[in-house]
A and B are shown apart, each in its own frame.
Chain A
Amino acid sequence: MASAVFLLDLKGKPLIARDYRGDIPLTAIDRFMPLLQEREEEEGTGLPVMTENGVTYLHLREKDVYMVALTRKNTNAMTLLQFLHHLSKVFTEYFKTIEEESIRDNFVIIYELLDEMMDYGVPQITEPKILQEYITQESHMLEITPRPPMAVTNAVSWRSEGISYRKNEVFLDVVESINMLVNPTGNVLSSDIQGAIKMKVYLSGMPELRLGLNDKVMFESTGRSAKGKAVEMEDIRFHQCVRLSKFESNRTISFIPPDGEFELMTYRLNTQLKPLIWCESVVESHRGRVEYMIKAKAQFKHRSTANNVEIIVPVPNDADSPKFKSTIGSVKYAPERSAFVWKIKQFQGGKEALLRAHFGLPSIRDDDPEGRPPISVKFDIPYFTTSGIQVRYLKIVEKSGYQALPWVRYITKNGDYQLRMPEPLTGGGSRLPPI
Chain B
Amino acid sequence: MMNAAIQTNIARLQIMKAKVLAALRKGENYELKTELNSEYKERRKEAVRRVIANMTVGKDVSGLFTDVLKNMHTDDLEIKKLIYLYLINYAKTQPDLVILAINTFVKDAEDTNPLIRALAIRTMGCLHVQEVLDYLCDPLRKCLKDPSPYVRKTAAMCVAKVFDLNASVAEENGFVESVREALSDSNSMVVSNAVSALVEMNDMAPDHNVWSLDSNLVSKLLTAINECIEWGQIAILETLVEYVPRDEKEAENICERVLPRLQHANGSVVLTTARLLLRYEQYVRRADLLTQFSKKMVPPLITLLSSEPEIQYVALRNINIILQRHPKLLSKEIRVFFCRYNDPIYVKYEKLDVLVRICSERNTEPLLNELKEYAKEVDVDFVSRAVQAISKLAIRYDSAAEKAIQVLLELLQTKVNHIVQNVMVAIQQIVRRYPHRFDSVIEDLCEFIDDVNEPDARAAFIWILGEHSETIANISNILTSCLESFLEEEDESVQLALVSAAVKFFLKSPQQGQALVLKALQTATEKCSNPDVRDRAYIYWRLLSADPNAARSVVLAEKPPVELENADLSPQLLEELIAELGSVSSVLQKPAKLFVYKLTEKAGVPRGSDTVGMGLGDAESTLAGGSEGKGASGGAAIDTTNEGEPELLISF
Contacts and interface: CB of A to CB of B under 8 A. Distances in A.
B597 A48 contact: no
Interface string B367-410: 00110010011111110000000000000000000000000000
Interface string B218-251: 0000000011011100110010000000000000
A247 B264 contact: no
A235 B378 contact: no
Contacts, number: 291
A369 B313 CA distance: 28
B188 interface: yes
B434 interface: no
Given A82-B268, A179-B306, A370 B344 contact: no
A73 B651 contact: no
B597 A79 contact: no
A51 interface: yes
A82 B582 CA distance: 11
Contacts of B238: 76
A85 interface: yes
Given A152-B150, A235-B300, A79 B341 contact: no
Contact of A48 (B88, B313, B379): B313
21 contacts: A1-B200, A19-B88, A53-B604, A74-B583, A77-B583, A77-B584, A78-B314, A85-B311, A108-B82, A111-B82, A122-B193, A122-B231, A122-B235, A145-B75, A145-B113, A148-B114, A181-B340, A240-B230, A248-B260, A268-B299, A369-B414
B118 A239 contact: no
A282 interface: no
Given A28-B603, A238-B263, A79 B231 contact: yes
Contact of B376 (A76, A125, A372): A372
B157 interface: yes
Interface string A306-348: 0000000000000000000000000000000000000000000
Interface residues of A, number: 106
Interface in B300-357: 300, 302-303, 306, 308-311, 313-315, 318, 333, 335-336, 338, 340-341, 344-346, 349
Interface stretch (A167-175, A188-196, A197-205, A386-394): A188-196
Interface string A80-104: 0111110000000000000000000
Contact of A79 (B92, B154, B268): B268
Contacts of A408: none
Contacts of A125: 189, 229
Contacts of B369: 183
Interface string B189-208: 10001001000100100000
* Interface range for B: 35 or more
Contacts of A179: 306
Contacts of B187: 153-155
B358 to A, nearest CB: 14
B160 A238 contact: no
A55 B588 CA distance: 13
Interface in B100-148: 113-116, 118, 122, 125-126, 128, 148
A44 interface: yes
Given A238-B263, A240-B229, A247-B263, A418 B605 contact: no
Contacts of A263: 265
A47 interface: yes
Contacts of A146: 77, 115
A234 B118 contact: no
B575 interface: no
B558 to A, nearest CB: 37
A72 interface: yes
Contact of A78 (B267, B306, B341, B606): B267
B252 interface: no
Contacts of A50: 652
Contact of A418 (B266, B341, B603): B341
B263 A236 contact: yes
Interface string B502-517: 0000000000000000
Contacts of A35: 651
A155 B603 contact: no
A82 B604 contact: no
B181 interface: no
Contacts of B345: 44-45
Interface of B: 49, 52-53, 56-58, 75-78, 81-82, 85, 88-89, 92, 113-116, 118, 122, 125-126, 128, 148-150, 153-154, 157, 160-161, 164, 187-189, 193, 196, 200, 203, 226-227, 229-231, 234-235, 238, 257, 259-261, 263-268, 271-272, 299-300, 302-303, 306, 308-311, 313-315, 318, 333, 335-336, 338, 340-341, 344-346, 349, 366, 369-370, 373, 376-382, 414, 416, 580, 582-588, 592, 595-597, 601-607, 613, 617, 650-652
A90 to B, nearest CB: 14
Nearest to B373: A420
B294 to A, nearest CB: 15
Contact of A190 (B126, B338, B414, B416): B338
B56 A107 contact: yes
B507 to A, nearest CB: 41
B377 A82 contact: no
Given A55-B604, A115-B122, 9 more contacts: A44-B345, A44-B382, A52-B650, A54-B601, A119-B122, A146-B115, A248-B259, A268-B299, A371-B378
Nearest to B55: A17
Contacts of A148: 114-115, 118, 148, 150
Chain B interface mostly = helix
B88 A416 contact: no
Contacts of A17: 56
B278 to A, nearest CB: 15
A51 B584 contact: yes
Contacts of A224: none
Interface string A22-59: 11110110010001001000011111111111111011
A270 B306 contact: no
From A51, A76, A194, residue with most partner B Cβ within 10 Å: A76
A82 B266 contact: yes
Nearest to A84: B310
B580 to A, nearest CB: 7
Nearest to A158: B229
Contacts of A247: 260, 263
A370 to B, nearest CB: 7
Given A44-B345, A238-B263, A112 B81 contact: yes
Nearest to A35: B651
Interface string A259-290: 00001001010100000000000000000000
A203 to B, nearest CB: 22
Nearest to A7: B56
B310 A181 contact: no
A399 B239 CA distance: 38
Contacts of B602: 25
A406 interface: no
B56 A122 contact: no
Nearest to B259: A248
Contacts of B128: 22
A78 B588 contact: no
B264 A237 contact: yes
A111 B588 contact: no
B310 A48 contact: yes
A131 to B, nearest CB: 12
Given A17-B56, A192-B336, A78 B229 contact: no
A147 B111 CA distance: 12
Interface string A238-267: 111001110110000000000000010010
A3 B604 CA distance: 12
B510 to A, nearest CB: 44
Contact of B157 (A108, A120, A239): A120
B596 A145 contact: no
Contacts of B414: 369
Nearest to A148: B150
Contact of B85 (A44, A52, A111): A111
A134 B344 CA distance: 38
